[in-house]
Structure 1
Amino acid sequence: MLRSRLGKVDRAAIVIPRMVSPVIPVSRTTPPDRQSTPTPPPGVTPLTESGARSHVSGVCFKIGPPRLVGVEVEWFVHDDRCPSRPVRPELLHAALESLPLGGPDGVSLPSGSRLTLEPGGQVELSSPPATGLLACVEDTRRDLTALRAAFAAQGLRLTGTGTDPYARPRRMVLDHPRYLAMERFFDSAGPWGRIMMTGTASVQVCLDAGEADGPHAVERRWRLAHRLGPVLVAAFANSPTLDGSSTGHRSTRQAVWSRMDPTRTLAPEPDHGDPREAWAQYVLDARVLCVRRPEGLPWTAPTGLTFRDWIRGAGERPPTLDDLDYHRTTLFPPVRPRGHLELRMIDAQPGDGWVVVAALVTALLDDPVAADAALAALEPLERTDGPRPPRSEVWRRAATLAMADPELRRATLTCFAAADAALGRLPGAGQLRTVVAEFAERYPARGRCPADDQLDALRSGTRPAPPEEAAP
């Protein structure tokens, strides 16, 4: 199950960031780029392939009944007076300094969410795991209110969109050695990695992995999460522009991800009923992005080195279990198992649009009847041949056409209907049910997605991104 971020394992993750474009925690303690990484102690037992597979299978899929829900909501920061101008660092720091930071994890927002910065200056709020959807939404809304107020006081706006809609310089605002290694790693294959790091934002939903068998079986939830991918990309596509111009994609963010290193951004090979083994093999076959070294030394990894190669002696030193766990934080497939399942394919949404995302995904995965209906609706989209997601044909259609694709639109409407029924069975979810229904009527029922609002604004010459108050 999802583990509290105050627990032993996640406390280490506070120091070693772990989000999409790995994040640096906002804290008044010693920053990670000022801390040294110890070299492996002499006499450490070498990590074996079988030991690595066993460890990954055990820690990445925690078995238990679905109970906890979390979200990670990411925002671009814009200057209200001139959104296309880079935000002055002193304003960003002043906004962060005004928040009630402190405590064991460096942040104590009202509900305990963790606040982090990404390399391009995006702000991400990671909710604490909550018992159920309603508590998650309530906690996150409370903390977002505090976050928005702190930034508004400095004349700054939090903008929810999958790519930065303004033609403003993209730059790295953090110089952690991990980011420098990431830059070098991704630059060898084109501009996509740098765009991802500095010019994209997402909404991520985190749910328990599931049980050993039954209606909430791990294998079933894993399969449904992946099959939902193109529907979630299409329904919530919200990044039709880059550098102020239309790209021809409703989800440019998804198009960017599909062009990056396939060993860490594609879905694992078909699991044949055992996602744990498929994921373990995926982790070992992924290329090593960075190798942590003592302070002052670069973290650049040898070109083409996979973690399996490293175990077999190709690296500069034998890898440790800690190296394996860190390596896992540099893998970015559409669904990432981290004890729980982290769905990562969804564009950031305007205003409180993230609520619809969280409600839809949770209803479909946690309600067995809704899950059955969704699996049936999504089966026609499934293809066993061709590239793996997100490079598959249906994922490309989702990123480009979104709800203008008839097959995707039909599947999406069925999924929204199943979620609506599931929310009707959830005590106290009446308001959430209304919000989800309003989104369905505004967008998929009309063959539209949030990106179409941006495109309408672009064509009318008003502004390249919808205001935050225009949230559904």
Structure 2
Amino acid sequence: MVMSPELDRGTVLGDEAAARGHLARICFKTGPPTLTGVELEWTVHDAADPARPVDRERLRGALGRHRPVTLDPTSPADELRHGGAVTVEPGGQVEISAPPRPSVAALLAATEADVAELRALLDAAGLVLGPSGMDPWRPPRPVVETPRYRAMRGVFDRHGPAGRTMMYSTAGLQVCLDAGEPDQVAQRWAAAHAVGPPLLAAFATADRQAGRRTGWASARMAAWLAIEPARTRPVWSPGRADRDPAAAWADYALAAPLLCVRGDGPDWAPPEGVTFADWLAGALPRPPTTDDLEYHVSTLFPPVRPRGYLELRYLDAQPGREWTVPVAVLAALFADPATTRDALAAATPVADRWHAAARHGPAERALATVAATLFDLALAALPGLGLPAGRHDQTHRAIRRRRAAAERGHR
């Protein structure tokens, strides 16, 4: 696809060709794959009674100068000491977005320090971070209200209760990888999707909600998949493997219904069923701009989302320091083209088994077998990450434990 010329964020998009060009330019930035990033999200609980609701004011006080403007418009929203930005999601989940780094070792060390700082802030307020990808103690409940979140809830309510579960009760782990050189993008895009189901299964932690077993290994992913297929289904699948990534993403983004239309007032609810392509065709009173398109893309939630880099969104939050393991596994699988090629080949047979992964986790034999193969590939590639000796040995042991658990899961 030919990319459009540089456009100002407020440029009016006259037609689909302009929109497609802009998406290609901003969503698939190519170059040597050197950076790795991570976003960590947790539910937040009262330390003495984890089932007790935690309200907005308590979070605001606990986070101090790091509180986001969604909690306090006057906040400086300072980053944590090592650069992590703190945000708070609609159900009061707290997230750290770590700046990407060229060294995985530096990313892990800096992010661990920021997590420790966040834990100390919460501890002083009698709060703790949750251990899993789903709130195991409380039912869904709003904590933060914004025009975006109100519009989101209204759209998701048309499809049932899963939207509120996702908004208020789930916590994920996102790994961010470069798209790569132009001749690598298609393979990295495909592999980022294909390894999703087996790694989702292997790292599933969200089997309980509101004090009960859910019947899902990852009720978090089950909620995402049940919301609105046009917004949450995977962009790539083995049956569409020959599609150009930028063209496939543009098709997806333009066909997705609007989640909200920003305005000066509190009501951002969109007209029902209007897609971005419809907006380009004149469905709303004013034409969309590049800024509107970029905002629309932020309301799409597929398992892998291109944002200039590839954002892998399918993993559950992990307990304690265990978040470092899937980050290291994915960094190792994408550290060199040969390993990425082998990971894609191993995972393609199960690449469309998202629901099975969410439902059964490693109890699904095919998924567990592929996960074990991916762990073997990660172990072989791990020395290439250049981790310090102690970190390397610790990570090596952790991946081997995960591999053994995957094998046990399907017996």
Matched, 1:409 2:368: yes
Separation in 1, partners of 2:188, 2:401? 28
Q: 2:218 aligns with which of 246, 251, 255?
A: 251
Could you say which residue in structure 2 is the equivalent of 1:109?
Answer: 80
How far is the alpha carbon of 1:292 from its aligned partner?
0.5
Matched, 1:208 2:178: yes
AA at the equivalent of 1:112: G
CA change 1:448–1:299 in 2 (3 A) is: farther
How far is the alpha carbon of 1:253 from its aligned partner?
0.6
Could you say which residue in structure 1 is the equivalent of 2:23?
Answer: 56
Mean Cα deviation higher: 183-192 or 107-116: 107-116
CA change 1:135–1:449 in 2 (3 A) is: farther
Could you say which residue in structure 2 is the equivalent of 1:240?
Answer: 207
CA contact (8 A) 1:205 1:344 kept: yes
How far is the alpha carbon of 1:404 from its aligned partner?
1.5
CA contact (8 A) 2:55 2:92 kept: no
Could you say which residue in structure 2 is the equivalent of 1:263?
Answer: 230
CA contact (8 A) 2:204 2:218 kept: yes
Q: 2:32 aligns with which of 45, 65, 76?
A: 65
TM-score, normalized by length of structure 1? 0.79
Q: 2:114 aligns with which of 126, 134, 143?
A: 143
After the TM superposition, which residues 7-86 of structure 1 pair with which residues of structure 2 at under 5 Å, given as runs?
45-86=12-53
How far is the alpha carbon of 1:170 from its aligned partner?
2.4
Separation in 1, partners of 2:56, 2:348? 48
How far is the alpha carbon of 1:433 from its aligned partner?
3.6
How far is the alpha carbon of 1:340 from its aligned partner?
0.2
Q: 2:103 aligns with which of 125, 132, 146?
A: 132
The CA deviation string for residues 131-185 of structure 1, in whole angstroms up to 9 with x for no partner, is: 121111111011111110111111110113111000x242211221010000100
Could you say which residue in structure 1 is the equivalent of 2:91?
Answer: 120
CA change 1:238–1:449 in 2 (3 A) is: farther
CA contact (8 A) 1:100 1:109 kept: no
Separation in 2, partners of 1:431, 1:182? 45
Could you say which residue in structure 1 is the equivalent of 2:127?
Answer: 156
CA contact (8 A) 1:423 1:430 kept: no
SS in 1 for 2:281: helix
SS in 1 for 2:286: coil
How far is the alpha carbon of 1:60 from its aligned partner?
0.2
CA contact (8 A) 1:271 1:277 kept: no
SS in 1 for 2:86: strand
CA contact (8 A) 2:65 2:77 kept: no
Separation in 2, partners of 1:100, 1:242? 27
How far is the alpha carbon of 1:109 from its aligned partner?
1.2
SS in 1 for 2:282: helix
CA change 1:164–1:449 in 2 (3 A) is: farther
Could you say which residue in structure 2 is the equivalent of 1:171?
Answer: 141
CA contact (8 A) 1:424 1:430 kept: no
Separation in 1, partners of 2:29, 2:132? 32
CA change 1:373–1:433 in 2 (3 A) is: farther
CA change 1:449–1:140 in 2 (3 A) is: farther
Q: 1:300 aligns with which of 248, 269, 294?
A: 269
The CA deviation string for residues 266-316 of structure 1, in whole angstroms up to 9 with x for no partner, is: 11252524101110111100100000011x241000000000011101123
Q: Structure 2: any 5+ residue segments left out of the alignment?
A: 1-6
Number of residue pairs the alignment of both structures matches: 395
CA contact (8 A) 2:42 2:94 kept: yes
AA at the equivalent of 1:320: T
Mean Cα deviation higher: 440-449 or 398-407: 440-449
CA change 1:169–1:253 in 2 (3 A) is: closer
SS in 2 for 1:353: helix
SS in 1 for 2:227: coil
CA contact (8 A) 1:86 1:169 kept: no
Could you say which residue in structure 2 is the equivalent of 1:396?
Answer: 355
AA at the equivalent of 1:339: G
CA contact (8 A) 1:80 1:155 kept: yes
The CA deviation string for residues 112-149 of structure 1, in whole angstroms up to 9 with x for no partner, is: 11000000000000001111211111110111111101
Q: Structure 1: any 5+ residue segments left out of the alignment?
A: 1-8, 13-39, 383-391, 451-472
SS in 1 for 2:195: helix
Matched, 1:331 2:300: yes
Mean Cα deviation higher: 363-372 or 194-203: 363-372
SS in 1 for 2:81: coil
CA change 1:156–1:447 in 2 (3 A) is: same
SS in 2 for 1:121: coil
SS in 2 for 1:70: strand
How far is the alpha carbon of 1:330 from its aligned partner?
0.2
CA contact (8 A) 1:72 1:205 kept: yes
Separation in 2, partners of 1:155, 1:105? 23
CA change 1:99–1:291 in 2 (3 A) is: closer
Separation in 2, partners of 1:289, 1:222? 25
The CA deviation string for residues 64-94 of structure 1, in whole angstroms up to 9 with x for no partner, is: 0101111000011111111111124443222
Separation in 1, partners of 2:267, 2:386? 53
Q: CA RMSD in A?
A: 2.3
Q: Percent identity?
A: 45
After the TM superposition, which residues 234-383 of structure 1 pair with which residues of structure 2 at under 5 Å, given as runs?
234-268=201-235, 270=240, 272-294=242-264, 296-382=265-351
